[in-house]
Amino acid sequence: MMPFSSNSKGRTASHAGSWYTDDGKKLQRQLDEWLDQVPSSARPIGTASSQEGEYSPPVSNARAIIAPHAGYAYSGPAAAWAYKSADWANVKRVFLLGPSHHHYLPVAATTNYSKYETPLGDLVIDVDFTAKIKQEWKLQVMDPRTDKAEHSLEMHLPYIYRMLSLHNKSFQEDPAAVPLVPIMVGATRPKIERDLGAHLAPYLSDPTNIFVISSDFCHWGSRFSYTYYQPQEGSAVNLRSNTPSSETREYPIHESIKAVDFESMDAVESGVHEDFLEQLERTGNTVCGRHPIGVFMAAVEQAELGEGKGRFRFVRYERSSEVERADDSSVSYCSAFAVL
C-alpha cells in the first residue's frame, strides 16, 4: 500500500478484452440486452422479502444494490436485475465496495487514481472525498498493481457508466458531476466491519448517494476448497472428489448449494449483521463479498434510517452450472436492492 497522492493517469480497464468485451459499442448492446430482459414487474425471491409482493424497477429511492462480479458471460444477466432495480436519477456520488481477491488486507483501501477507464467512457474519482475518508476512516491506498489486478470493482464500472448515461441528467451533461468512490474491503474482523459501518452510516441518508456492493455467492468445489453438503436429513459433511454420485442422488449437490445460498440471502435480508456472520461461520459459505456486505449491514444498523429501510430484497439467483457430481464446481450469482 502507498500514501495518498492523486494519480492523474486513469486506471486502465485491465479486464476488458478477457472478462468482458473491450468493444464499447458491443458492450453497450450487451448491457442493454440484459437490462431489457429484466421484466417490468417481478417478485423478490428471498424467503422473507417474497412475502412483500411484487416490485417494478426502478424502485423509488432504491439506492443500494448487491450484484456479482464474474465474467459477463456468467454474471452479466444476473447483475442486470440489481442495476435495473436501482434509482439512478438523482445520484451525485457512487460508492463502490468490493472484496480483495489478490492482496491480503485486514482493513479497507481506496484508490490513488483520478479516474477509472471503461470501454464506454471514464468514471471520474471523487479525489477530494477519497482523500477525506482516507484520513478519517484510516483507509489504506491501493498501489497501482493491486488496483489493476482487482476485478471485484472493475466488473461493475461498465454497468455504473451505462445506468448513469441512461437515467442521470447530471452525468449526461458532465460525467464528472457524478464521481465514484471505490473502496476495497479486506478480510475484516466483525469489529472492523462495525467501525467502517459507523463511518459509512452518515452517508446513507443522503438521497444523492448510491451504494454498489460487489459479491458473488457460493464458490463450490474442490478447487475452491469448499465442498460442504447439507442433506435434507442428518448432519452436514464435506464431500470428497471421489464421493460416489449414489450418495447424493436423492438430494442433488446443487440443491444443497442453493439451500445454503438462500440461508445466506435470508441472513442478509434480516438486516442483522450478527445473523449474517453466524450463518457464514456455521456453513462456511464462500460468499466472496461477505466483508463489503457486512460493512454495509453494520452501517444500516447504525444509521437510524427508519423501519425496514436499508434491508436488502433479493431478486435474482443464478449459478454457473448445476453441480451433480462431487468433482464438479460452480459459482453462484445473486442480485438484490435496498431502499434507503
Burial class of residue 332 in the structure, from the number of CB atoms within 10 Å of its CB (0-12 exposed, 13-18 middle, 19+ buried) = buried
Closest CA to 297 of 272, 265, 267: 272
* Bridge partners for 109 per DSSP: 140, 184
Residue 52 forms part of a structural domain: no
pLDDT band at 12 (very low <50, low <70, confident <90, very high): very high
pLDDT band at 6 (very low <50, low <70, confident <90, very high): low
Residue 109 forms part of a structural domain: yes
What was the pLDDT predicted at 8? 56
Q: Taking all residues of the chain, what is their mean pLDDT, rounded to a whole number? A: 94
Between CA 166 and CA 164 the distance in angstroms is 5
Whole-number percent of the chain with pLDDT over 70: 97
Residue 189 forms part of a structural domain: yes
What was the pLDDT predicted at 304? 81
Tens digit of each residue's pLDDT (9 = 90 or more) over 135-154: 999 999 999 999 999 999 99
Map residue 219 onto helix, strand or coil. strand
> Which residue is listed with cell 439512478?
88
What was the pLDDT predicted at 51? 67
pLDDT band at 287 (very low <50, low <70, confident <90, very high): very high
For residue 235, report the phi and psi dihedrals to the nearest 5 degrees: -85, 155
DSSP 231-275: -SSS--EE--TT--GGGGSSS-HHHHHHHHHHHHHHHHHTT-HHH
For residue 65, report the phi and psi dihedrals to the nearest 5 degrees: -135, 155
CATH number at 295 reads 3.40.830.10
Tens digit of each residue's pLDDT (9 = 90 or more) over 170-181: 999 999 999 999
Q: Check residue 36 and report its DSSP letter.
A: H
Cα 190–chain centre separation: 18
Model pTM score: 0.95
The cell for 185 is 474491503
The cell for 35 is 437490462
* Contact (Cβ atoms closer than 8 angstroms) between residue 231 and residue 251: yes
pLDDT band at 1 (very low <50, low <70, confident <90, very high): low
Tens digit of each residue's pLDDT (9 = 90 or more) over 26-68: 999 999 999 999 999 999 997 767 667 899 999 999 999 999 9
Cα 58–chain centre separation: 18
- CA-CA-CA-CA torsion sign (293, 76, 184, 128): negative
Residue 32 forms part of a structural domain: no
Rg (CA), the chain: 19
Residue 303 forms part of a structural domain: yes
Closest CA to 34 of 46, 21, 47, 44: 21
Residue 260 forms part of a structural domain: yes
Residue 315 has pLDDT above 80, yes or no: yes
Residue 47 forms part of a structural domain: no
DSSP 173-199: H-GGGS-EEEEEE-S--HHHHHHHHHH
What was the pLDDT predicted at 104? 84
Closest CA to 65 of 223, 213, 183: 213
pLDDT band at 70 (very low <50, low <70, confident <90, very high): very high
For residue 121, report the phi and psi dihedrals to the nearest 5 degrees: 150, 175
What was the pLDDT predicted at 4? 45
Between CA 187 and CA 309 the distance in angstroms is 27
What's the domain range around 198?
Answer: 59-339
Mean of pLDDT values over 8-32: 95
Q: Among 60-64, 79-83, 103-107, 284-288, where is mean pLDDT lowest? A: 103-107
Could you tell me which residues come within 8 angstroms of residue 307 by beta carbon, excluding any fewer than 6 positions away?
Answer: none
Q: Among 188-192, 244-248, 319-323, where is mean pLDDT lowest? A: 244-248
Question: How many structural domains are present in the chain?
Answer: 1
* Peptide bond connecting 252 to the previous residue in cis, omega within 30 degrees of 0: no
Residue 43 forms part of a structural domain: no
